[in-house]
């Protein structure tokens, strides 16, 4: 199943037509900052999930905000 999806994806990407679009220098920095932002968000989510998982197995209860 995964092989078929990869094959269809490769076929679709191999027949792409030219875009005739202009990408200015600011586009690259925008893409880099978006990738870094997503990586930071994923890292924070993993960190929070990890601490909750470790706390669950150690028997600690989450501290309620007052």
Would you say residue 54 lies in a domain? yes
Would you say residue 39 lies in a domain? yes
Q: Which residues contact 55 (CB under 8 A, 6 or more apart)?
A: 61, 62
pLDDT tens digits, residue range 41-66?
A: 999 999 999 988 888 888 766 666 55
Q: Please give the angle made by the CA atoms of 19, 34 and 24, to the nearest 5 degrees.
A: 40
pLDDT tens digits, residue range 23-40?
A: 788 888 999 999 999 999
Q: Find the domain containing 39 and state its range.
A: 24-66
Structural domains counted in the chain = 1
Would you say residue 45 lies in a domain? yes
Would you say residue 9 lies in a domain? no
The whole-number pLDDT of residue 22 equals 81
Would you say residue 3 lies in a domain? no
């Amino acid at each position: 199943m995964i092989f078929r999806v990869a094959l269809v994806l490769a076929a679709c990407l191999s027949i792409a037509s030219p875009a005739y679009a202009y990408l200015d220098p600011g586009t690259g920095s925008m893409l880099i900052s978006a990738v870094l932002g997503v990586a930071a968000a994923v890292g924070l989510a993993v960190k929070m999930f990890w601490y909750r998982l470790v706390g669950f197995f150690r028997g600690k209860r989450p501290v309620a905000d007052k």
